[in-house]
Amino acid sequence: MAIATFEPVLTKTVQLPDSHTLGVYKKHGGYEALEMALRKSPDEIIDVVKRSGLRGRGGAGFPTGTKWGFVPKNPGKPKYMCVNADESEPGAFKDRLICAKDPHQLLEGTLIGSYAIGANRAYIYIRGEFAAEAAIMERAIEEARNAGYVGKNILNSGFDCEVTVYLGAGAYICGEETGLIQSIEGKRGEPRLKPPFPAVVGLFGCPTVVNNVETLACVPHIVKRGWEWFAAIGTERNTGPKLYGLSGHVAKPGVYEAPMGVSLRTLIDEYGGGVPNGRAVKAVIPGGASCPVLRGDEIDLPMDFDSLTRAGSLFGTGTPVVMDDTACMVRAAWITARFFAHESCGQCTPCREGCGWLQRILWKIETGKGVERDLDILLSVTDNIEGNTICALGDAAAWPARGFAKKFKDEFLRHIREKRCPFEGGSLH
């Protein structure tokens, strides 16, 4: 789909002055969806979201309506909605835009979601480094409360919902949904054993839904314009608009909105203006640092959950990092590994020990001290981490390391043979 034919949904107003204020939001139809939703039953809302085909935008792509449907109707306890605004994977910066420029869109989606699952309290968990966005979010909640959208008896519907901003302390792992829950509870940010899943035993032991910012931002539009409209955008199993955070070696990095399933090449060449200085695309990390790298000759594929999985990578948060032919793939792998080694919560053995090991091997190869056996050990360590951990962080560290080592094996071997990095002075140095 060419750029011109797609009318932005989620980013419609972000370029307007004061887009973060209630006035601007309402001028463009803000909170009409909430009014509509409150006139319907929670089940109807869940049904509409199910039919829309909306899949979670936080990386896993789980159907949102189905997730909401797992929440017990009458658990005899409070229920909670948690908004995951802990966006902190290298490459991902799309949710930040919504928080900063259109907080009411997120808030409206949060309120509708809370209504659908029967939660009277929602927490917006914002990454610790996003202090400015958290302040904007706080102001938006205050505006909404004064206007009767937050608090007791919202719009005379009888539905109560309090929304609280919770600022994290700077841990990537708190973006894992149970790590996020632990953090809100004031505990160490460590993922929990699953089952039980948060829908049954979540925040404070109560049924809880954790949704990504962009996911919830889609909800008001689905309610207002109907699931058929939403489902018509994108591809069959990957519906709706999507925010793509494009970075790396592109002429115009930034957040772009396009339908699910837009071609990665289109994204890079048309939206991002291509690779500068006439250089070639060497590699693309398609959806955040945890997604296995694609070679430059593999980018003619639709950006959606299923296509990326078929290609041996992952859609993740849909935030491609583009690298040109000056970038060293061993160094890129090391940078990625260093991130995960730093962010592992440390509770389970394979991730705690394995991530540090991967980082060491990659640095050894990158600095010209590697031997061929190190490459085998590297791959073996990724195998030994994957699937053996409590949460997906271990996998998220193993996949990219393995991806780089397999996709760019020659480059790894060159480091070993030449006993130095052949890309010294390159763009990642």
Partner 1 sequence: MATVKLKIDGREVEVEKGTNLIEAGKKAGVFVPHFCYHPGLPVVGVCRICLCAVEGRPKLVAGCATPAEEGMSVVTRSAAVREARAAVMEFLLIHHPLDCPMCDKGGECTLQDYTIAMGSAGTRFSFEKNTWPEEDVGGKLILNKNRCILCLRCVNLCKDVAGQDEIAVLSRAEETYIGTVGGRMIENELAGNIADICPVGALTSKDFRFRARPWELQNVKSVCTLCSKGCNTNLGTHPRRNEVVRVTARENMDVNQWWICDRGRGQFTQFHAADRLTAVTRRQNGAAQATAWTEAIPAIASALQGVVSRHGADAVGVIASAELTNEECWLTRRVFRDGLGLANVDYPARTQPPVVYPKFTIEGDRNPNVKGARATGVAPGTGGRSVADIMRAAADGTIRALVFLRGGPLDQFGDAAIAARALDRAELIIVVDATPSPVSAKAHWTLPGVSSAEKDGTLTNSAGRVQRITKAFRRYGDAREEWRILQDLGRALGALSETDPDPERIFDRLARAVPAFAGLSYAALGDQGAPLAAAPANVVVG
Decide if residue 157 touches partner 1 (CB under 8 A): no
In whole angstroms, the minimum distance from the beta carbon of 300 to partner 1 comes to: 31
Decide if residue 198 touches partner 1 (CB under 8 A): no
Segment contacting partner 1 by CB under 8 A, of 20-28, 51-59, 269-277, 351-359: 351-359
Q: Which residues, in sequence order, are CB contacts of 48 under 8 Å at separation 6+?
A: 65, 222, 223, 226, 227
Segment contacting partner 1 by CB under 8 A, of 31-39, 79-87, 216-224, 385-393: 385-393
In whole angstroms, the minimum distance from the beta carbon of 235 to partner 1 comes to: 26
Decide if residue 367 touches partner 1 (CB under 8 A): no
Residues 243-262 that bind partner 1 (CB under 8 A): none
Decide if residue 389 touches partner 1 (CB under 8 A): yes
Decide if residue 360 touches partner 1 (CB under 8 A): yes
Question: How many C-alpha atoms does 128 have within 13 Å on its Cβ side?
Answer: 11
Contact letters (x/-) for partner 1, 390-419, by CB under 8 A?
A: x-----------------------------
CB atoms within 10 A of CB 150: 21
Order of all β-strands in the sheet with 208-212: 162-167, 121-126, 80-85, 208-212
Angle separating helix axes 103-117 and 131-146, nearest 10 degrees = 60
Name the token pair of 203.
């925040």
Segment contacting partner 1 by CB under 8 A, of 74-82, 155-163, 258-266, 347-355: 347-355
Decide if residue 215 touches partner 1 (CB under 8 A): no
> CA 48, CA 157: separation in Å to the nearest integer?
20
Contact letters (x/-) for partner 1, 168-187, by CB under 8 A?
A: ---x-x--------------
Decide if residue 239 touches partner 1 (CB under 8 A): no
Q: Tell me the residue ranges of DSSP E strands in 42-94.
A: 80-85
Position among 296, 346, 368, 426 found at the interface with partner 1 (CB under 8 A): 346
How many residues sit close enough to partner 1 to count as binding (CB under 8 A)?
A: 32
Segment contacting partner 1 by CB under 8 A, of 202-210, 237-245, 344-352, 420-428: 344-352
The H or E element containing residue 140 is helix 131-146
Position among 310, 342, 417, 419 found at the interface with partner 1 (CB under 8 A): 342
C-beta separation of 291 from 268 below 8 A:
no
Angle separating helix axes 94-101 and 103-117, nearest 10 degrees = 100
Question: What is the chain's length?
Answer: 429
Beta bridge partners of 63: 55
Let me know the angle formed at the C-alpha of 177 by 175 and 179, rounded to the nearest 5 degrees: 70
Decide if residue 387 touches partner 1 (CB under 8 A): yes
